[in-house]
């Protein structure tokens, strides 16, 4: 039986392979393992239509074991993490599939500090989920209650407003909220810097989250930045834990470039703990060279922001993140937060007087291509001799300066292929060849 928990919680197509019965079982399992009478949990959601269904199921499961549930409503994932850690909660559950389409949803469990769970605790929860009906329920007079507590978002907003007030700027920003939960707070926080803020894609209808917008599709934002003559654009994803930036000319500045900008700024100010930047195996080799040439060190981890965070703790690092736009600035937050990342970029632009394009030019990247291929048998690629031989040939053609990475997605039924090297045309050719082969062999 495949593991329920992936790199970012439990995900699936809503009401198909991720059903409310599973959310109910997770509510009971979380209440039993992490909470208990007198130790409430807090639940939030993004803007997907299926969110209400899953929240109701979680509430039913947890209250059936005598645990109170505070329902905060639509909030960014980093807001729920902050609320969980700042409050008196035993755990938090975020109902979101982040950057995935609206048809998907997910269940992310956080501990009392607002942090993602260790894998051993996830394994314990998973076993409890399968036996959730056998857990001892509360008596009728000891059932938990659901508390509508939407004002809890103010805890997060207040903290982020203080961060914003540390930067004073008159820049013109365009923010793409991905029709997701970031729209509930992004404009107010970013305007606290003094910036002029235009907002796009902030009309969620339950079905348009991430649809042709947001961090996974920044093209529309890029066009609007140019059309409006703005200084910079910021694209959040559906739950606002990612951010992709766009410069004034409409060029996309991805998570690797953002990490490089922030790392170089901190190295120059001697404020990067241990000179360390923690990134995933997917991050560009150009980023690593830039940071190392500036006197820093780059530490790589498996893909997934929870591994980034663990790597930061182990190595005493204060900055880490992924090419996808997850950025963790440990002095401010223990999770990826697209709004905080935007504030950090604005602070560097204001401090240096440089445009985003000029800052990004200081972090030259190697050509890199990534492909995501739907795959029914995504975990079987290593056992396929044809795939292994094709990867070996690609690595040989790239030489010592290149890399090939193939891995199953932790959030989708897909295989991911990354090719990197000094020659852009060859990199694209090999990425296409491996993607086509994966589609043939793994379906």
- Identify the CA nearest to 408 among candidates 378, 363, 382: 378
The DSSP 8-state label assigned to residue 141 in this structure reads: G
Provide the mean pLDDT of the chain: 95
pLDDT attached to residue 411: 67
- pTM value? 0.92
96 catalytic? Reply is no
Comparison of pLDDT for 174 and 378, the residue scoring more: 174
Q: Which of 96, 98, 283, 324 is catalytic?
A: 98
Q: What is the full DSSP assignment across 61-127? A: HHHTTT--EEEEEE--HHHHHHHHHHTT-SEEEEE--TTS-TTEEEEEEE-TTSPBPPHHHHHHHHH
What span, in angstroms and rounded, lies between the C-alpha atoms of 199 and 176?
A: 6
Mean pLDDT to the nearest integer, 392-407: 92
For 370, phi then psi, to 5°, come to: -125, 145
Residues of the chain with CATH 3.30.310.50: 368-441
Q: Ranked by mean pLDDT, which of 281-290, 306-315, 340-349, 389-398 comes out on top? A: 340-349
Question: Which fold, 368-441?
Answer: TATA-Binding Protein (3.30.310)
Q: Where are the alpha helices (DSSP H) in 294-423?
A: 305-315, 338-352, 356-361, 385-398
What span, in angstroms and rounded, lies between the C-alpha atoms of 30 and 36?
A: 9
What span, in angstroms and rounded, lies between the C-alpha atoms of 414 and 403?
A: 20
Mean pLDDT to the nearest integer, 112-141: 95
Comparison of pLDDT for 251 and 305, the residue scoring more: 251
Structure tokens at 226: 């140019």
The DSSP 8-state label assigned to residue 215 in this structure reads: T
Non-local (6+) Cβ contacts of 230 within 8 A are 172, 173, 174, 198, 224, 248
pLDDT in tens, 143-194: 999 999 999 999 999 999 999 999 999 999 999 999 999 999 999 999 999 9
- Give me the architecture of the 155-361 domain, per CATH: 3-Layer(aba) Sandwich (3.40)
CATH class as words, domain 10-148: alpha beta
Split at pLDDT 50, 70, 90, the class of 46 is: very high
Q: Ranked by mean pLDDT, which of 316-325, 368-377, 396-405 comes out on top? A: 316-325
Mean pLDDT to the nearest integer, 353-373: 95
Residues of the chain with CATH 3.40.120.10: 10-148, 155-361
- Identify the CA nearest to 181 among candidates 324, 44, 325: 44
Residues 117/69, Cβ–Cβ less than 8 Å: no
In the block, tokens 């396929």 appear at 384
């Amino acid at each position: 039986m495949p593991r329920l928990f992936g790199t970012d919680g439990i995900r699936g197509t809503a009401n198909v392979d991720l059903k409310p019965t599973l959310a109910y079982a997770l509510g009971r399992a979380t209440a039993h393992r992490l909470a208990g009478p007198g130790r409430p949990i807090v639940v939030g959601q993004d803007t997907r239509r299926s969110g209400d269904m899953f929240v109701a199921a979680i509430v039913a499961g947890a209250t059936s074991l005598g645990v109170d549930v505070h329902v905060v409503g639509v909030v960014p994932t980093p807001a729920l993490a902050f609320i969980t850690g700042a409050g008196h909660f035993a755990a938090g559950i975020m109902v979101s599939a982040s950057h995935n389409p609206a048809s998907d949803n997910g269940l992310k469990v956080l501990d009392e500090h607002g942090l993602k769970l260790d894998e051993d605790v996830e394994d314990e929860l998973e076993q409890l989920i399968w036996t959730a009906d056998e857990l001892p329920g509360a008596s009728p007079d000891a059932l938990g209650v659901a508390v509508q507590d939407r004002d809890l978002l103010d805890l997060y907003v207040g903290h982020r407003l203080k961060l914003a007030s540390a930067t004073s700027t008159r820049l013109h920003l365009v923010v793409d909220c991905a029709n997701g939960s970031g729209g509930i707070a992004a404009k107010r926080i970013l305007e606290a810097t003094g910036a002029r803020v235009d907002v796009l894609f902030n009309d969620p209808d339950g079905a348009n989250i991430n649809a042709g917008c947001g961090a996974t599709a920044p093209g529309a934002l890029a066009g609007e930045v140019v059309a409006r003559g703005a200084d910079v654009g910021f694209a959040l994803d559906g739950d606002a834990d990612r951010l992709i930036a766009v410069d004034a000319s409409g060029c996309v500045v991805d998570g690797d470039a953002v990490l490089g900008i922030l790392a170089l700024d901190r190295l120059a100010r001697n404020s990067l703990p241990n000179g360390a930047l923690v990134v995933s195996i997917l991050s560009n080799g150009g980023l690593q060279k830039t940071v190392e040439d500036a006197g820093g060190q780059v530490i790589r981890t498996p893909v997934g922001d929870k591994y980034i965070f663990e790597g930061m703790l182990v190595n005493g690092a204060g900055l880490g993140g992924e090419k996808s736009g997850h950025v963790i600035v440990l002095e401010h937050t223990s999770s990826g937060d697209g709004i905080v990342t935007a504030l950090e970029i604005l602070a560097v632009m204001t401090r240096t007087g440089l445009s985003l394009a000029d800052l990004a030019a200081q972090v030259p990247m190697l050509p890199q291509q990534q492909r995501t291929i739907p795959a029914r048998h995504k975990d079987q690629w290593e056992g396929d001799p044809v795939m292994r031989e094709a990867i070996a040939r690609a690595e040989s053609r790239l030489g010592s300066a290149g890399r090939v990475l193939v891995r199953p997605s932790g959030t989708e039924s897909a295989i991911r292929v990354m090719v990197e090297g000094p020659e852009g045309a060859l990199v694209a050719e090999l990425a296409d060849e491996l993607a086509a082969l994966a589609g043939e062999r793994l379906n």
